Amino acid sequence: MELPEVEVVRRDLEKDVVGRRMVAVEVRRMKNTKRVIRRHKAPKEFRDRLVGHKIIRAERKGKYILLHLDDGNVLVVHFGMSGRFLRGTKRVPLDNHTHVIVTFQTGGDLRFVDPRTFGELFVTALDDLGKVKELAHLAIDPLESMFTWQQFSGALANRATKLKPLLMDQQFISGLGNIYSDEVLFAAGLRHDRASDELSAQEVRRLYRAIQETVQEAIRFRGTTLGDEAYVDLYGKPGEYQNELKVYGRRGEPCRRCRTPIQVVKYSGRNSYYCPQCQS
């Protein structure tokens, strides 16, 4: 998941889960489940910090979701490559890769499903969030009010690197991955291998605007679900932004703007999709 998908899930949780009290937490005895709660010594410790408490707020930090509890603790969620939350009831069969089931006093359950088990759940005190190194080093979020043109241009000027890896650097800007970095660069009319410190003021402004508009549009279409359907929303429904992608995954297809075939190159270990005519 990238930022738009995580934000869609956060908004779903805010509407559907916030205000509910947890009455049972099951950590299933499955291969690799311990990796999902790896920061806890045992499943009992994880369960005991959740059962009986109410979720009072759903927050997002980069690609992390923070579910604030009524006792001051926070359930921190990272989906990794294949993790997802699904709402369910006893009548709905469990997915084969369901590792954790949170049952609410009213209104069914919340399931953490993760086939590849790179995702993670852990509970920490609110005051200790700053000690979680992954959260402490997150950069500014493109949906936050602090993400201003002045701040972005200043940060960009201080970095001398290529645009694609820079956009994917979570210590530069939070939440962008392979899909949305390509889409942002297309929207800005910039190639993946342009140097960040050599952009004109107009190009920097285009890039800043493209980040905001691409992320917001992807959220409006409820995220991107590719062929493997790794991402679905809280209710198991795929996103629709894959139908709006301008370059990502469209090798050889005509550019939606100029009809030039989309090209792909291996760059920084990733496939980078771009239009050779529209991006320079």
pLDDT for residue 99: 97
Query: What's the whole-model pTM score?
Result: 0.95
pLDDT at 228 over 80: no
φ/ψ of 26, rounded to 5, equals -110, 120
- Which pLDDT band holds residue 5 (cuts at 50, 70, 90)? very high
Over the stretch 250-267, which tens digit does the pLDDT of each residue have? 999 999 999 999 999 998
pLDDT at 184 over 80: yes
pLDDT at 71 over 90: yes
φ/ψ of 22, rounded to 5, equals -85, 125
Over the stretch 127-180, which tens digit does the pLDDT of each residue have? 999 899 989 888 889 998 888 888 898 888 888 899 999 999 999 999 999 999
**How many CA atoms, within 13 angstroms, populate the side-chain half-sphere of residue 231?**
21
pLDDT for residue 172: 93
Three-state SS string over the chain comes to: CCHHHHHHHHHHHHHHCCCCEEEEEEECCCCCHHHHCCCCCCHHHHHHCCCCCEEEEEEEECCEEEEEECCCEEEEEECCCCCEEEEECCCCCCCCCEEEEEEECCCCEEEEECCCCCCEEEEEEHHHHHHCHHHHCCCECCCCCCCCHHHHHHHHHCCCCEHHHHHHCCCCECCCCHHHHHHHHHHHCCCCCCEHHHCCHHHHHHHHHHHHHHHHHHHHCCCCCCCCCCCCCCCCCCCCHHHCCCCCCCCCCECCCCCCECEEEEECCEEEEECCCCCC
Amino acid at 237: K
Over the stretch 19-66, which tens digit does the pLDDT of each residue have? 999 999 999 988 888 999 999 999 999 999 999 999 999 999 999 999
pLDDT at 70 over 90: yes
Over the stretch 81-105, which tens digit does the pLDDT of each residue have? 899 999 999 999 999 999 999 999 9
pLDDT for residue 107: 84
